[in-house]
Structure 1
Amino acid sequence: MPDVLHGRARYRRILRFAARHLIAIWWFELIIPRVGFRRVTERTRAARMHRFASRFRVLAVDLGGLMIKLGQFMSTRLDVLPPEITKELEDLQDEVPAVPFAQIQALAEAELGVPLAQVYASFDPTPVAAASLGQAHRATLASSLATDVGFAQVVVKVQRPGIADIVAVDLSALRRVGAWLSRLRVVSHRVDMPGLIEEFAATSLEEIDYLHEAQNAEAFAASFAEDPRVRVPAIVWERTTRRVLTLEDVTAIKITDVDAIRAAGIEPRTVAKVFAEVMLDQLFVHGFFHADPHPGNIFVTPRAGGDGDAPAWTLTFVDFGMMGDVPDRLRASLRKLIIAAAARDGRGMVVAMHDAGVLLPSADTKELERVLTQVFARFGGMGFAELRELDPREFRDFALEFSDVMLTLPFQLPENFLLIIRALSLTSGLSTSLDPRYNVWDSVEPYATQLLRSEAGNVLGDLGGQLRENAQVAWHLPKRLDGVLTTIEDGKLSINAPKLEDTFGRLEHTARRLVSALIFAAMLIAGARLHADDPGTGIALMVASVVPLLHVIFGRRHDR
């Protein structure tokens, strides 16, 4: 239980867990394949993933706090994470231990300033949901207030006692883990990890302020005021403080309860489609989005009949503690990105990534354009179910062919981009859980067409700008050509071929690393076999094998 764990012990436990598994990943996924044991890595990967997920589940349930948020995110990544992880964590939202009602009652009465019996006609001591940062109880408003607000049945969210201190400890531990990751060259050259942690910290601190959540709920409701597909619970401001939130009870069918959805006469694949469209609207139209759309925060609410093209049900969103804003400039860039993706336009994708700030201005993106063009040519239009049916060796060969391009490009994540990625990841995973054959392109392509129509008024302006740019190039072209010809005449034209210059040097180092790799393999295997009969000698050989291994690793880095 997080309430009884000492802060320092909690901090150390998180760091130990992270360190142990980072080392395991580094060893099995980076080192072992490089020295010829790729089959060992592939053969043991499923068991290792399941073991990691089981251990993390125990850790998250035991600690609560932000660890639950991380587990919820992992459980919905059905599109990219292996089933060994997602299956193990899929029920994590419902496993958080409840706080004893006496503690909840004491905190709520201290916040409201009066006994619960005076402001609620009834208050169920059994929580309807126990979340990582608080828990919810059903209640009935006093008759006078119920008449004023227009409803009597409510849900009262009360923070877990001491959650602010727990969040502070978790953020401190995450900052340390982020510092570890930032020391890895492959991470530090692509992502400002400390910056991402601070952005997540700011969001987490806002999430434990219920007044902020109530304001978010009303802003979200205003965005969809004219949209019959979406419903938002009303806030009872008279019974709301920073640590207590009272809102309309809108509990209905959980969005992942496929059997109940079908029993209500609703097609799950339609729910997946509408849900994706609503999330796209939040990101690309309204610029204000729900950043935590996991299954516990979304209901499908049947209703009598439909209005025109609206379905006979609504998507009901709850829990607005984690929200994101998309500035106008970034929203325009994201629109270009989704239009380029729908058009399978690799160059357009790179331009949009530049505009969004995902790539540094100095990035050489010719190779990235080539990679994206080939990705669209081979995999474009496929749904996640179709991708899963492809031969894994095809993905592996493709990744090996273009790994150097992706690792050397200077990627970065602009402000609030982490929440955008989170929302899109949860959306794709949840849609896939509703419809295993769900194809994200079915939502993206018509949406991109809609965006093109809405931006048609900007076409003339864009053409005018392009004409001015072309005119400037044409005006300066004679002068540039004259400069090139002068350089050639003076004999100063140089040709740089770094790959050719490096080839001979690499051949020399390759032979040395090959010998070291063979020595490492021989010592490791011999040590493993001797360990059963002679533990001392076996361990000594395995430890000594690290010496030639280091030469293989750092020799490879030197070659590059």
Structure 2
Amino acid sequence: MPDLNKPGSESISSEPKPDLSTAEPEPARPSADEIAAGLTEYRVNWRRYWRTLRFGAWLFLRILWWEVVLRWLVGNKLISGGRTERFRRWAQEFRGLAVTMGGVMIKLGQFISSRVDILPPVIIQELASLQDEVPTVAFDLIRKTLDEELGPVERRFSAFETVPVAAASLGQAHRALLPGGERVVVKVQRPGIHSLVYTDLKALRVIAGWAMYFPFIARRANIPGLLDEFSAGLWDELNYRQEADHAERFAAMFADNPGIYIPRVYRELTTRRILTLEDVTAIKITDYDRITAEGIDRRDVARRLQHTYLEMIFVERFFHADPHPGNLFVYPLPPDAPAPNGQHANGQPMLGRPFYLIFVDFGMVGRLTPEIVAGLRETLIGLTTRDARRVVESYQQLGILLPCADVRRIEEATRAAFDTVWGLNLSQLSNVHVSEMARVGRDFSDLLLSLPFQVPQDFLYLARAIGILSGMCTGLDPDFDPWREMQPFVARLLTENGERSSTRRLPFDLKPRDLLHPQTLNALLSDGGIDLLLNTGYDLARRTMHLPVLLDQVLTRADRGELNMQIAASPQLQCDLNRLERTLNRLVNAVLFAGLVFGSALVYYAGEHTISTLGLILAAVTFLRVLILGWRR
């Protein structure tokens, strides 16, 4: 690339070159085997370890008191009123711990905030803004790591800024200048970070084991499995060679894309603990005023960002999983830059000045496995045809549903959601009255309470990336329509790999009123709509031919008495059942109270005063529960 168009030309500061003349002689550089062996020799920071365990123990004691003991005494209705505030307070306490301890705890907070599938929204909201920023490490310690990994700093760099441009929980980044004049950013791990990570994960593994003793937690999530997932991702982030591999893979993916720029990796200056990349700092993608001032049309930026991610997700199946504004830059090119530099890869005309969209920080990536792709395809087919059963089956294929999930209820909830929002566009969806969604929530409150879902991490990375992208694209262009950009990629996903035969199984599950809806007609008359109609006609003909056989099977089973009937309780019947359940609970507790009092009296007269006292205490607690249940009647 010509120097005229090269990003980062003004990214290094003008502070004087640090004095490196007093450097010590170059130490013997360890071999790869020695480095690998050193990574396995961890030392546990026992003070940190016990601090983590104390926090976890105190948290679980409070959960036990509120969600088990008091819930048994007074019932869920009375303690649910303050549950949201308690969750918020506990999340704030963890946030304070994470900020104080740094390292793994900050990463854990960010990981927790992404688990929208298993945690209450109040916890997600409290931890979502947890920043991966900690105090910087003294340059003397950073220099020691540089010397150990690369040799003396002055032999590798002609200038090296001692003040970092960014500091995170696992490492910090410094700008530097190579002897050849290239400007680079050097990412260096914090000294002792491996022992710190090992200590925190060791403590968290104990806490994860404690969590599985709580049935209401064990039913909702496999905490040790989630910790294993988190641990694997964390160790991957600590291997900077792997991040270099990711950067080079993205560079290869977009080698022919004239509008995307990926920084060069300097392999000779990269190890497991050090990563050296080309300095490509430019205009932050959320600096709207500066983007406009440079003559770049923000609509171009939004379109390119969306299209690039759609290509990563639907074509490459390998995507940048951390697209926050600090990792995306816009670099303006001269208005007369030779084509196709800075142009859209899909040939769309530019609305403003040409530019590069630059990606940095490749430590967090997501992959769409063949299983996830097949599940997504089934989900899209089910959604476009209102086939609730197929949608739920796709959830199972994606591994989203827990083994204890009530598939029938989830199918009913999906069908109810279809009835509520089918045929609405984005603007109409945003105007759906809260009472409509609240009604669906009340009808399926049992599902909301049990939350029988656990989403794979790569799928969460995908959802998180799409959520962040939607916000950035609409910030760049308030009128941006992401669905319009997505349509050709979705069509490709539905028809690729010989899946045309599978689409012939599509049930045309539209109501008569839906056939005349403008959105339905537009979809049916689109490029793939004619094929969909032909496939649907084939499906209807096949089902019509099978109808006599199915009818014969139903009648045969009815004649044998093999038909099963499912009956759902009406709201009034459910209330009566709940009242009967409370009555039985009072009766059982009254009998237990009488038995404890009688037994304690006998034990007292036998001379066992301590046991008798404990029995009377239990009897008092049981009597209190009987009174509370009677008051709630």
Whether TM exceeds 0.5 here: the answer is yes
Give the drift of 1:419: 3.0
The percent of aligned pairs where both chains have the same amino acid is: 36
Change in CA separation of 1:295 and 1:65 when aligned onto 2, cut-off 3 Å:
farther
AA aligned opposite 1:66: V
> Structure 2 vs 1, CA of residues 412 and 65 (structure 1 numbering), >3 Å: closer, same or farther?
same
Residue in structure 2 matched with residue 318 of structure 1 by the alignment: 360
Paired AA for residue 579 in structure 2: L
CA distance in 2, matches of 1:40, 1:208: 40
1:419 is matched with: 458
Q: Which residue is equivalent to 2:613?
A: none
CA drift of 1:318 comes to 1.8
1:484 aligns with 2:557: yes
Give, in whole Å, the separation in 2 of the partners of 1:394 and 1:385: 13
Instruction: Give the SS at the match of 1:315.
Output: strand
Q: Single out whichever of 324-333 and 447-456 deviates more from structure 2.
A: 447-456
- Quick check: 1:275–1:431 contact (8 Å CA) kept in 2? no
Partners of 1:217 and 1:477 lie apart in 2 by 56
- Which has the larger displacement, 322-331 or 450-459? 450-459
Give the residue type in structure 2 aligned to 1:67: M
Q: Distance in 2 between matches of 1:377 and 1:118?
A: 69
Give 1:202-221 correspondences, 5 Å limit. Answer: 202-221=232-251
The answer to whether the 8 A contact 2:112-2:127 is kept is no
Residue in 2 aligned with 1:61?
99
Match of residue 98 from structure 1:
136
Cα deviations across residues 446-473 of structure 1 (Å, max 9, x unaligned)? 4144321564464642266787996996
Deviation track 1:1-55 (CA, whole Å, cap 9, x = no partner) reads xxxx97222233334444545666787799599334655556x57xx73x55654
Asked if the contact 2:285–2:329 (Cα under 8 Å) also holds between the matched residues in 1, the reply is: yes
Find the counterpart in structure 2 of residue 432 from structure 1.
471
Query: Deviation of residue 216 (structure 1)?
Result: 1.3
> Is the partner of 1:279 in helix, strand or coil?
helix
How much is the aligned-residue C-alpha RMSD, in angstroms? 4.8
Q: Matched residue of 2:481: which SS?
A: helix
Matches within 5 A, 1:4-83: 7-21=45-59, 34-36=76-78, 40=82, 44=85, 49=88, 54-72=92-110
Rate the CA distance shift 1:192–1:137 in 2: closer, same or farther, 3 A. Answer: same
Q: 2:172 aligns with which of 118, 129, 135?
A: 135
Partner Cα separation in structure 2 for residue 487 and residue 69 of structure 1? 60
Residue in 1 aligned with 2:522? none
Gaps of 5+ in 2: 1-42, 336-341, 507-537, 590-617
Name the counterpart of 2:311.
281
Q: Is the 8 A contact 1:231 1:314 kept in 2?
A: yes
User: Which whole-Å CA distance do the structure 2 matches of 1:22 and 1:438 have between them?
Assistant: 46
Amino acid at match of 2:460: I
Partner of 2:370: 328
Deviations along 1:224-274, one digit per CA (max 9) or x if unpaired, are 333344322110011111111111011123344455445545566765565
Asked if the contact 1:190/1:411 (under 8 Å) is kept, the reply is yes
Distance 1:324 1:75, change over 3 A: closer
Q: CA deviation at 1:220?
A: 1.9
- Distance in 1 between the 2:625 and 2:301 partners? 53
- Once the two structures are superposed, what CA deviation does each residue of 1:109-163 show, in whole Å capped at 9, x if it has no partner? 1111x211011111111111111111111001112xx5xxxxx000111111111
Q: Which position in structure 2 is the counterpart of 1:370?
A: 412
Instruction: Tell me which amino acid in the other structure corresponds to 1:104.
Output: I
C-alpha distance in 2, partners of 1:184/1:436?
Answer: 43
Aligned equivalents of 1:472, 1:439: Cα separation in 2: 50
**TM-aligned CA distance change 1:403 to 1:304, over 3 Å:** farther
| Pairing of 1:61-210 with structure 2 (within 5 A) | 61-72=99-110, 90=129, 92-93=131-132, 95-112=133-150, 114-143=151-180, 152-210=182-240
- Aligned AA (1:462): S
Give the deviation of 1:64 after TM superposition: 1.8
Is 2:366–2:461's contact at 8 Å kept on the other side of the alignment?
no
Query: Cα distance, 1:382 vs. partner?
Result: 7.5
CA gap 1:368/1:435 in 2 versus in 1, 3 angstroms: same
Q: Secondary structure at the match of 1:333?
A: helix
1:11/1:170 contact within 8 Å kept: yes
CA distance 1:107–1:195, shift in 2 (3 Å):
same
Q: 1:502 to 1:346 in 2, by over 3 A?
A: closer
Q: Distance in 2 between matches of 1:546 and 1:254?
A: 62
Matched, 1:462 2:531: no
For 1:75 and 1:258, the matched residues in 2 are separated by: 27
Q: CA deviation at 1:68?
A: 2.1
Structure number with greater Rg is 2
**1:231 maps to what in 2?**
261
Structure 2 vs 1, CA of residues 464 and 59 (structure 1 numbering), >3 Å: closer, same or farther?
closer
Distance in 1 (CA, whole Å) between partners of 2:503 and 2:569 is: 40
SS in 1 for 2:443: helix
In 2, Cα distance between equivalents of 1:78 and 1:462? 32
Q: Which residue of 1 aligns with 2:516?
A: none
Cα distance change on mapping 1:38 and 1:126 into 2, 3 Å: same
Unaligned regions of 5+ residues in structure 1, if any? 147-151, 518-542, 556-560
Structure 1 stretch 215-224 or stretch 227-236: which is displaced more?
227-236
Name the count of aligned residue pairs: 506
User: In 2 relative to 1, CA 336–274 (structure 1 residues): closer, same or farther, beyond 3 Å?
Assistant: farther
- Corresponding residue to 2:579 among 478, 483, 507: 507
C-alpha distance in structure 1 between counterparts of 2:450 and 2:479, whole Å: 28
TM-score, normalisation: structure 2: 0.66
Which stretch shifts more, 177-186 or 159-168? 177-186
Distance in 1, Cα, partners of 2:578 & 2:123: 40
Please tell me the residue identity of whatever aligns with 2:416: Q
Mapped contact 1:76–1:426 kept (Cα < 8 A) = no
Query: Amino acid of the residue matched to residue 325 of structure 1?
Result: R
Rate the CA distance shift 1:248–1:330 in 2: closer, same or farther, 3 A.
same
Residues of 2 paired with 1:278 and 1:550: CA distance?
A: 61
Q: CA deviation at 1:351?
A: 3.5
Mapping 1:302-313, distance limit 5 Å: 302-305=332-335, 306-307=342-343, 308-309=347-348, 312-313=354-355
**Secondary structure in 2 matching 1:321:** coil
Question: Hey, which of these two has a bigger chunk of helix by percent?
Answer: 1
What residue identity is the alignment partner of 1:178?
A
One-letter code aligned to 1:141? L
Q: In structure 2, what is the Cα distance between the partners aligned to 1:337 and 1:262? A: 39
Whichever residue aligns with residue 414 of structure 2, its letter is L
The match for 2:8 is none
